[in-house]
Amino acid sequence: MRNILVTGAFGQIGSELIPALQQRYGAAQIIVSDIRMIPLQAHIGAEQSYEHVDCTQPQQILEVVRRRDIGTIYHLAALLSAVAEERPHLAWSINMGGLYNVLEAARQCQCRVFFPSSIGAFGPSTPRDHTPQVTVQRPTTMYGVTKAAGELLCDYYAARFGLDVRGLRLPGLISYVAPPGGGTTDYAVEIFYQALRYRHYRCFLGPATRLDMMYMPDASRAMIELMEADGGPLRHRNAYNVTAMSISPEDLAGEIRRHIPGFAIDYQVDPVRQSIADSWPRSLDDSAAREDWGWAPRFDLATMTADMLARLSETVTGPERPRPEAS
């Protein structure tokens, strides 16, 4: 087996996907890359697994892919939705330019590619409930434009050059390992830290803003399962709708309150992130993923919340640190 390269490895997805890949294929096979230098607490095993790669530089990717004998690339390097709205030119350069460079390196070196698309690839004219696998995609954010265009570019490379490129439309991801950076769904992670520290959270989305979410252990498993799936039955390479729960801030706060009874939430809506959330689906129909490669989430709102609080309460300290009660 040739090696696996992960780009943007020190972000939220990489921090959990890398240990999962190392466990499955062996640490020596996983090459970890990021534009950032290696963080001290990075869970990457041996330091020799690390490569400094700027995905906007095609030669850097190609050189690493050749030198490290890469056969599969998990291309995670991208700006998230809120940051991309603040810096649209940079978002285009990283999200689209980086993907193009990765696909080109993959074409030249016969690599397989995983591309993480998002619920952000949809827009306000998409049906918002049980959003079908194939439907209108007219996103109104720069992040969404790069995700919808990225899906098309991956399809093009698959059809034109026979590249084995596969993708998921990921919902908001919830992790106890690494915080997200600059997403619209970040509230669903911040709320746990603030609940444990202060028993209070001020949310930047309105109480009834319903969006799809997934716990990171399910998301890592989905990526690996899709990449290991038999290619024959895959009708939608780029990209499959996947979801685990469709929840609002008030749903999540209510579930946390079952463990931390005094927990309070109030709202100070950020108009930019609220308008991004309002342009996205409330719930995806992921039946195509279930049928084609057997996707099924293992965590729902209750089990994800209990696990997040149990794991974070080991490390998160603050002026008040209530122990979560058993549900």
- In the beta sheet, which residues pair with residue 170? 118
Q: Residue 290 Cβ, how far from ligand AKB at the closest point, in Å?
A: 20
Site string for ligand AKB, 65-94 (x = CB under 6 A): ---------------xx-------------
Q: Which of residues 121-160 bind ligand AKB (CB under 6 A)?
A: 143
Determine the Cα–Cα distance for residues 85 and 144; give it in Å rounded to an integer. 10
CA angle 177, 183, 186 (to 5 degrees): 50
Stretch that binds ligand AKB, among 123-131, 165-173, 202-210, 311-319 (CB under 6 A): 165-173
CA angle 82, 85, 90 (to 5 degrees): 110
Q: Which of residues 185-204 bind ligand AKB (CB under 6 A)?
A: 185
Q: Residue 168 Cβ, how far from ligand AKB at the closest point, in Å?
A: 11
Interface with ligand AKB (CB under 6 A), residue from 183, 281, 297, 324: 183
Of the candidates 37, 35, 39, the residue with the CA atom closest to the CA atom of residue 8? 35
Q: Does 313 bind ligand AKB (CB under 6 A)?
A: no
Stretch that binds ligand AKB, among 28-36, 39-47, 177-185, 224-232 (CB under 6 A): 177-185
Strand order in the sheet with 50-52: 50-52, 30-34, 3-7, 70-75, 112-118, 165-170, 240-241
Determine the Cα–Cα distance for residues 226 and 286; give it in Å rounded to an integer. 13
Q: Does 324 bind ligand AKB (CB under 6 A)?
A: no
Interface with ligand AKB (CB under 6 A), residue from 98, 120, 281, 324: 120
Interface with ligand AKB (CB under 6 A), residue from 119, 163, 178, 191: 119
First-residue to last-residue Cα distance in the chain: 44
Q: Which residues are catalytic?
A: 143
Phi, psi angles (nearest 5°) of residue 149: -65, -35
**Residue among 184 and 283 whose Cβ is closer to ligand AKB:** 184
Q: Does 3 bind ligand AKB (CB under 6 A)?
A: no
CA angle 186, 190, 195 (to 5 degrees): 150
Q: Does 249 bind ligand AKB (CB under 6 A)?
A: no
Stretch that binds ligand AKB, among 112-120, 156-164, 243-251, 314-322 (CB under 6 A): 112-120
Q: Does 184 bind ligand AKB (CB under 6 A)?
A: yes
**Residue among 64 and 170 whose Cβ is closer to ligand AKB:** 170
Let me know: does 155 contact 238? Beta carbons within 8 Å: yes
Q: Residue 171 Cβ, how far from ligand AKB at the closest point, in Å?
A: 6
Phi, psi angles (nearest 5°) of residue 275: -70, -30
Q: Does 118 bind ligand AKB (CB under 6 A)?
A: yes
Q: What DSSP designation does 28 have?
A: G
Position of minimal CB gap to ligand AKB: 183
**Residue among 198 and 267 whose Cβ is closer to ligand AKB:** 267
Tokens of 144: 């969404």
Determine the Cα–Cα distance for residues 50 and 34; give it in Å rounded to an integer. 8
Stretch that binds ligand AKB, among 33-41, 62-70, 118-126, 307-315 (CB under 6 A): 118-126
Of the candidates 148, 146, 152, the residue with the CA atom closest to the CA atom of residue 125? 148
Determine the Cα–Cα distance for residues 143 and 26; give it in Å rounded to an integer. 33
Would you tell me which residues interact with ligand AKB (CB under 6 A)? 80-81, 118-120, 143, 171-173, 183-185
